[in-house]
Amino acid sequence: MTTTTVRWDKAEYDRFKELADFHGKKVSSFIREIVNERVQDELDYQEIVKLKQEGSIELVSREQVMREAGLL
């Protein structure tokens, strides 16, 4: 396993610690989960952009989805 060091100021660390404690996790585990979720979101976004550029998908607005679902 590779180790990376990230330096946070005290206020930033305290926010992470508070949230990690709330979720019953260690700070390192909590931050690892957050980073992994963000990376997955980015990979998903890149895949959507690629499919859109290829013309494989059509994107619709949130408003259109809500309208078709009868929520507007």
What is the per-residue pLDDT across 4-16, written as a single tens digit (0 to 9) for each?
999 999 999 999 9
- Of 7, 44, 45, 38, nearest in space to 30 by CA: 38
pLDDT number for residue 1: 87
31-63: pLDDT as tens digits: 999 999 999 999 999 999 999 999 999 889 999
pTM score, two decimals?
0.73
Residue owning tokens 């290829």: 54
Domain boundaries, the chain: 10-68
Three-state secondary-structure class, residue 57:
coil
pLDDT number for residue 51: 95
Q: Which two tokens stand for residue 4?
A: 């990376």
pLDDT number for residue 47: 96
Q: Is the pLDDT of residue 26 over 90?
A: yes
> What are the backbone angles phi and psi of residue 49, rounded to the nearest 5°?
-60, -45
